[in-house]
Every structure is written in structure tokens, then in C-alpha cells.
Structure 1
Amino acid sequence: MNKRGFYISSALMLIAILFFSGNIFVKYYFNEFLIVTPDLTNFSISEAEKIVSKSSLAIKKMGEDYSQYDREKIFSQEPEAGEIIKKGRVIRVWISRGQDQIVVPDFGGMDLSDAKASAEKLGLRIKNISYAQKNAVYNQVISSDPGAGSTVYRNKEISFLVDTKRVGSKVRMPDLIGVDISSGKRLLKSKNLILGNIEYIQNSELESGIIVDSGIQPGIMTFEGTVVDVIINR
């Protein structure tokens, strides 16, 4: 074998060694430190604890609510099933109170804040709020999804389509950062601005329950009737 052939063979052998060594390391690291989150929905707490006990995980019960699952069954979890997490992590779970059903009322024509309050009182969770200019009735609900008359499980998500208009005058965006959602609503209302969708994050370094960001930055001039999305730290 000439020198060139020797070098090529050596290089190929080195690549093969690195490839297989890398795969072994990844598999070892994954098996030793990482795990795929199991799906605990529709299991009882005791059943779920048996499942995670084999995976070096723990369970923490966060609360109870109505859902499509039977009573005492897990209906929600964080992290969600299928996520890759470190071994030893705590999985937070929420327990079903049973399959309590309600009929969705007609929210059409209601002010958005009133519709949201009524929906939450019935046990419905607000999912999305969309906006359209239709009848030029400021902040009024046009329709909901699921629609009026639908029979749904309590704790079901509901979305609203809301009528909005731009009055023409401009206002300065208030500073919502660091205030709770109730104070944020009042600040927006004082400027004739509309609270839009609410997203949540988890940051242990920040105070829980406060607004950490808004779709429009403080001090920016915008039109009355503008929809403002916010992010809240859990």
C-alpha cells in the first residue's frame, strides 16, 4: 500500500471511530441524563406516580378543574408529553373534577370585558380574541367559537370575534410593564385601547402575575381602538 492509500485508509478509520464514538456518547448521555416526558393524561395520580417512578421523575398536583376526562383523572400536564427533559424533573399535573357540561350562551352584542367575565364565570377559558371592523360598535362581541347554543365541557376554551374601530385620534401607549393584569386593563381603557391576547411565560427571577411585555412598547403613539397583546409571568 502506498502512502496515499495509507493516509486515506487512516482517515476513513478515524472518521468511523469518531462517528461511532459520538453515537455511543449521545446514547449514553441521553440514557443517563435525559428522558422523554411520558403522557400522563387520563391516568389517576397513583397510576401516574407508578409510571414516573421508573423514570426518575416526580409529580406535583397543581389544582383541579372540569374537563372532558373522568373525575380524578389527569387532564393537563407540564411539560407536555413527548418533550425531552432532564431526569429528576417535576411534572406538574391538573386533576379533572369530571365531565361537567354547559350550554354556551349568546355573547353577541356584549362588551368584550363583560363577555370575558361571563365566560370565565361559567368555567370557560379564553383562548383567542380576533378583531374585525363590521358595525363600527366599539369593543363589541360579534360571535364566539364554540358558538351560542353549543354544549361543551366546563373548562373548554372559547374564542371571540370582536368589532373594533379606529376613532382617528392618537394616544400614547401607557407603560404596562410590572403591573398586574387588572391594573393593565384600567391603563388601556383609560386610553381607549383594547386588551388583546394574553400569553404566559415562567421566569423565577420575575414577580409572578405581572405583565412583562406588551405588543406595543410604552410611549409609542397609536390610534384609539388599537388591540394590545401582553405577556404575563406565571
Structure 2
Amino acid sequence: MICLVTLGIFGRGVFDRHFFNTRMTVIPNVMNLNEKEAIKYLKEAGLKVKVIHSKTEKVPLNVVHNQDPRPGKKVKVNRVIKIWVNNGQNQVVPNIIGLELLEARSKLKGQNIQIETIDYYPSNQKYNTILGVYPKPGTKLEINQKISILVSSQQMIDPSVMPNIVGLDLNDARELAKQVGINIQNVSYTSDQTLPLNTIISTNPAAGARIQRGQNVSVVINTASRARRRQTTEEIINRSKNDINKNGIEKAIDDTINKIDNSNSGNNNSTNNPTNSGNDGNSGDNPSQGNNSDSQQSEDDSGE
């Protein structure tokens, strides 16, 4: 019975301390203290400690450079306090080549290594695969030093087939050739008014031909601008239709009526002209011959 009573009293005390703990304490300031001293002060305040080792240039070796929660805060006893201690160890670049980008970033984050730049490069590797890292794997990083990684992009061009660079200017063509691995070495010039100025109009090898990496390619550049081309009859008609749609049907009708009135007025003047009555009999047999000639000439002018 005595044992049971003693166990009950002791057990109640433990239960109260863990589940109904109302005792409070103030977190001491352990910043810039040695690791062992910081742990000692925190435990004397009734707190638990979790030590996280990391590298920093803010404090000397084995000294606390951060704590959470912040000092001066009032908390319950047995609260876990995190402290960050400078261990002075350099971080080493892990070997992430061949990993998928998401996996590589997760691995780097777990080691507190930050990425400065991500560059993409066409490759036969799977999309978003790590092709390279700088500094190279195994390198010890300086304080706060970041790394750069090279990632595979989708292969856009078949490196064994000559791409179609006709119509490009020389600078754009060189960039495209660089991706395939060929060199534009021989450049010649010609004049072709049917093609745009300063663009490639032919290549050797031609587009679609089999090529090898490092192969030299010849291109011909156009030095003439397109000549002004005369409009065809069909284009003139289509333009007239567009004008009708643009200016409106009513205006087109008014213009047509005016043209008809002017034409009739001209015919009447020709009929009343006294010089026409003085023509010989042949003219009388074909009175419209002169008018037909004038009409034909008018149509020719209009066609031009």
C-alpha cells in the first residue's frame, strides 16, 4: 500500500510536469558564445537544445551565430531551442550530373547549396537532365559561394542533316549552324531581284543533305532588292473590288453613273461634229469605225 501511494504521488508529479506544465522561463541570449557554454546556459534555464552545425564567416569556429526562438522570449520549460554553431567545414559540390533537374535541386537544397544560374543546351540526353556543374563535383565551396548548372534542352535540330537556312540573314544562319556543329566558311554574293535583300538564297550542301560535324558550308547572299513588279489584270480587278468594298457600294454606283454620263456626252458631241458629216461614202457605210478605234485606245490605256 505504501509503495502504491508513493508511486501515485511520484507519477502525478511527472504527469503534471509534462502535460500540465505551467512553469515559465526566459530564453537566455547565447549568441556569440561557445557551443558548450551555450548548451550549459540553456539547460540551466530549463530548456532543451538542438544544435545545427553550419559554416559562416560571421563568428569564429564553434561559436553560436543564430538561435530560435530569439533571446528574451518567455516560454514554458523544456521548450526546444535551436542554435546554429559555426563548424568551419567547407561545403563540397556533390556529383549531380545525370540527375533530373528537380532531383538535383532537392539534393542541393538538402546540403544548403544555392544555384546561381541554370543554362540550357541542346542535347540527346533526356530533357531537364544535368549535363554539367560549375565548380566541378568535389570542389570545396567558399563561404556563400553558389554554383551554376548546365541542363539538357530538347533536341531541336538533327545534327546529321543540313538545316534549311535559305531566307535567313548571315548572322542568324551562323547561330543555327553552330547548334548543328557546322561552319559557314565560303560566302559569295549574287543579285536576284525576286528575293529579299541580304538573305541566303542557296547553300552547298543543300537543305536535307547528309552532313558531318565540323563540315564547312558554302552560302550565297543576295545583294539586290526586289524589283517593283507591274500589276496583272487580275490584280487590278481585285483591287477595284476591294475599293468597292472599302468605299461603299453607293459611291461605286455614283462613279459608274458619272462615267456613263460622260461617255454618252462624248458620243453626242461626236455625232454633232460637222467634220463627221463631210466623210465619204465609205465612212457612211461604217460610221462607228472611228469611235471604235478611240474606244480601243481608251481600253488599252486603262489596261496599262
TM-score bracket, shorter-length normalisation: 0.3 to 0.5
Q: Which has the higher strand share?
A: 1
Give the structure-1-normalised TM-score. Answer: 0.33
Give the structure-2-normalised TM-score. Answer: 0.27
Q: Which has the higher helix share?
A: 2
Based on CA coordinates, which of the two structures has the bigger radius of gyration?
2
Higher RCO (CA 8 Å, separation ≥ 6 residues)? 1
